[in-house]
Chains A and B, each alone.
Chain A
Amino acid sequence: MQMETGTYNKVDPPDGYTAPGIFATTLDKVVGLARKNSIWPLPFATSCCGIEFMATMGAHYDLGRFGAERLSFSPRQADLLMVMGTIAKKMGPVIQQVYIQMAEPRWVIAVGACASSGGIFDSYSVLQGIDKVIPVDVYVPGCPPRPEQIIDGFRKVQDLVGNEALRRRYSDEYMELLAGYGILK
């Protein structure tokens, strides 16, 4: 059976000046490349989407091949907060505290319908989307999303990480975003 070449994504180097033994590019491209291929996630797995995440981290789907091999349950050492599962209103301040205690630069991915919008649980006790308490970068719809979809969301986060300006976390826009959530950095 012949493998079709060109149908899978290869990792290309960023734009830069190439010469034998030398590659020169801008700092933010290099930093972005390094950051996006070494994201350490914080798996905030609550329910069914957490089980799908367990499958994603397993050998078959393997999120580790994108650099996310080392999960951290401490926000001090994590880059990406992956909220996977239904978040109750009681859990809202907890998620906010965990997000606040992450060090900049930090990103958030909402996996599943419940984290994105409350999902099927439109009730008095369920938070209708975690973007009510923390700023979210990528939403992955699904109930639950397949591991391939979770990986797709992760790839979108990688695009965001690779293209982020280095001074974005000091910018007024970011401060206003946080102030809107009452986080104040």
Chain B
Amino acid sequence: MEKVFVPTDYFPVLVQSVVALGFVVVTMLATHFIGGKRKKFHTVRKDQNFECGIEEKGNARFPFSVKYFLIAILFVLFDVEIIFFYPWAINFKETGWDGLWEMFLFLGFLLFGFWYIIKKGALNWED
């Protein structure tokens, strides 16, 4: 006999979610109200970034070239594409000719994108 699950079977999941969320909220509120006066201890010198005791000069952040971001984000895209190839590779025989043409279509879309970024020069590392 097959086991049938009704929505009310998932009530414990709801209870667990409420308890987890409630614990976080209650703890944050309680510590905010019960905790010591942190505001009394703030001064300019205390809040500065730790610079081994010497004065800090300037901002730690600086602008950097966009090519790092482009390489990283293109890697993510093509890596996800490879992930999609894995199930097809395993079930290659079962998907048959239809699967092959569909995957070629999928690959075609992505190859078009690849050709586009090559033409745009996004992969050109040297300026």
Task: Judge if B8 is at the interface, Cβ distance under 8 Å.
Answer: no
- Interfacial chain A residues near B48, Cβ < 8 Å: 101
Q: How far is the CB of A31 from chain B (nearest CB, A)?
A: 12
Number of interface residues of B (CB under 8 A): 12
Task: Judge if A30 is at the interface, Cβ distance under 8 Å.
Answer: no
- Interfacial chain B residues near A96, Cβ < 8 Å: 53
Task: Judge if A74 is at the interface, Cβ distance under 8 Å.
Answer: yes
Q: Is the CB of B46 within 8 A of A101?
A: yes
Chain A interface main SS type: helix
Q: How far is the CB of A68 from chain B (nearest CB, A)?
A: 21
Central interface residue in A74, A94, A96, by most chain B CB within 10 Å: A94
Q: Give a binary string over B34-74; 1 marks a CB under 8 Å from any A CB, 0 the rest.
A: 00110011010110101011100000000000000000000
- Interfacial chain B residues near A97, Cβ < 8 Å: 45, 53-54
Give the nearest-CB partner of B54 in chain A: A94
Q: How far is the CB of A167 from chain B (nearest CB, A)?
A: 9
Give the nearest-CB partner of B49 in chain A: A101
Question: A96 to B36, alpha carbons, bound, how many Å?
Answer: 24
* Total A-B residue contacts, Cβ distance less than 8 Å: 30
Q: Is the CB of A184 within 8 A of B43?
A: yes
Q: Is the CB of A101 within 8 A of B43?
A: no
Q: Is the CB of A74 within 8 A of B40?
A: no
Question: A13 to B30, alpha carbons, bound, how many Å?
Answer: 31
**A100 touching B46 in the complex, CB below 8 Å, given contacts A170-B37, A170-B40:** yes
On B, residues with C-beta under 8 Å from A are 36-37, 40-41, 43, 45-46, 48, 50, 52-54
A-B pairs with lowest CB-CB distance, top 5: A94-B53, A97-B53, A98-B53, A100-B45, A100-B46
Known pairs A101-B50, A184-B43; list 6 more (Cβ under 8 Å): A94-B53, A94-B54, A97-B45, A100-B46, A170-B37, A185-B43
